[in-house]
A = this chain, B = another copy of it.
């Protein structure tokens, strides 16, 4: 049996079936898709990929179940990720109505053959990826791996919860993943990591800005005739190369490459906006309006209404003396986190450094922010 060295889990063992799947070009593509998109612009160590994360999730899953079908599904749960992971997500959703869990649509070639050869049903694999609690539940192997892994490569210690203990104190009853009462603190710990990692890493404003700039460049490509379907089989290299060689996206990718990123003209929390109203706005139209009033090209204005993440983890089940109770019911901390999560939400308007002041004023007016926000001119690196 072969083993792969992983900085998070140590030795990961690969049995024959798993090895065969890994050795396909379709799976190898994940080596060239960064796990955290452009987060390396803030945390220079964050160059890790979907490949190693997928191995990690498979590894944890294999500790929770002997069902090889589930383990294979765990390995393949991110096979559908487009370049730069979540950074391309909005575009593939918009133009292809595609989500990365939609693996049936993307699995082909050698990978499809290997799965067939070993008797796996694509339908079942796909269902596991979407609904199996081991892979996609309240507290699942995906989360267990990425929180620690992202924390390792960013150098942010917040995410170092106690995976080993959590795995040890969690069992799969065939239908649900259940936390034993001895694992309660480890589960709380995971949720705290989540709470800490979102604002400092995943939603760090510099990461958001780079991601939105990239999204914009992608739209330019599509507007000039690039077929979004191609994204599903491309890697980070392909899309960067495409942008560098295009007329429309070239400027944007160069700004990203040289880290001449847009700055924040507006950056406010939910206390400054009507949340219901703001989530319904058409960002592109507002971008055009702002640009029009300021008198600059629309491509230099980005309106970023952060999505409101649903936090499923609070519903994880805990086994308290044989009774199954929701995590948030046994843990006052968790109840508190649920409220606190909302405080991390931000509305941002980003533009080139030279337009920051003007764009800030106009955007503030158009978005009905009651007063001009205190602008942080300092764009901290971390």
Bound Cα distance from A321 to B14, whole angstroms: 21
Identity of the chain B residue whose Cβ is nearest the Cβ of A55 in the assembled complex: B44
Cα A236 to Cα B257 with chains together (Å) = 12
Give every chain B residue within 8 A of A40 (Cβ-Cβ). Answer: 31, 49
A44→B4 contact, CB < 8 A: yes
A65 at the interface (CB under 8 A from B): no
Give chain B residues whose Cβ lies under 8 Å from the Cβ of A29.
Answer: 257
| Closest residue on chain B to residue A188 by CB atoms | B196
State whether B161 touches A157 (Cβ < 8 A). yes
In the complex with contacts A5-B155, A237-B240, A336-B336, A185-B160 CB distance below 8 A: no
The answer to whether A156 and B11 have CB atoms under 8 Å apart is: no
Q: Which of A211-219, A274-282, A307-315, A374-382 contacts B (4 or more CB under 8 A)?
A: A374-382
Known: A7-B155, A47-B48. 16 other contacts (CB 8 A): A4-B381, A7-B152, A31-B40, A40-B49, A44-B51, A156-B162, A158-B185, A158-B189, A160-B160, A185-B199, A185-B200, A189-B196, A237-B237, A238-B244, A333-B340, A336-B336
Q: What residues of chain B lie closer than 8 Å to A251, measured between beta carbons?
A: none
- Contact of B258 with A25 in the complex, beta carbons under 8 Å: yes
User: Measuring CB to CB, which residues of chain A are less than 8 angstroms from any residue of chain B?
Assistant: 2-8, 10-11, 14, 23-25, 28-29, 31-32, 40-41, 43-45, 47-49, 51-52, 55, 152-158, 160-162, 164-165, 168, 182, 185, 188-189, 192, 195-196, 199-200, 236-238, 240-241, 244, 254, 257-260, 321, 331-333, 335-337, 339-340, 342-343, 374, 376, 380-382
Cβ contact within 8 Å between B7 and A45: yes
- A105 nearest CB across to chain B (Å): 21
On chain B, the residues within 8 Å of A321 by CB distance are 374, 376
CA distance A156 to B157 in the complex (A): 14
Chain B contacts for A8, CB-based, 8 A: 155
The answer on a CB contact under 8 Å between A382 and B4 is yes
**Residues of A contacting B: mostly:** helix
Report if A44-B382 is in contact (Cβ < 8 Å); known contacts: A28-B257, A189-B158, A333-B340: no
Does B380 lie within 8 Å of A156, measured CB to CB? Answer: no
Distance (whole angstroms) from the CB of A305 to the closest CB of chain B: 21
- Partner of A44 from B24, B49, B185, B237 at Cβ < 8 Å: B49
- A51-B44, A381-B14 given; A257·B332 CB < 8 A: no
Instruction: Check if A3 sits within 8 Å of B51, measured CB to CB.
Output: no
- Give CA–CA (A376, B258) in the complex, Å: 46
- The distance in angstroms between the C-alpha atoms of A182 and B381, with both chains bound, is 11
- Tell me which residues across on chain B come within 8 A of A6, comparing CB atoms: 44-45, 155
Q: Which of A156, A238, A335 has the most CB atoms of chain B within a 10 A radius of its CB?
A: A156
In the complex, the answer to whether B156 meets A382 with C-beta atoms within 8 Å is no
CB distance from A80 to the nearest CB of B (A): 18
A49-B44, A52-B45 known; A7-B153 Cβ under 8 A: yes
Which residues of the other chain, B, contact A380 by a CB distance below 8 angstroms?
2, 182
List, in ascending order, chain B residues with CB within 8 A of A168's CB: 3, 11
Which of A44, A158, A339, A381 has the most chain B CB within a 10 Å cutoff?
A: A44
What's the least CB distance linking A321 to chain B, in Å?
A: 7
Ranked 10 nearest A-B pairs via Cβ: A336-B336, A241-B241, A7-B155, A25-B258, A47-B47, A332-B340, A44-B52, A333-B340, A5-B382, A332-B343
Most buried by B among A5, A6, A160, A254: A5
Give A231 to B271 CA distance when docked, in angstroms. Answer: 51
- Give the contacting residue for A154; candidates B7, B48, B156, B188; CB below 8 A: B7
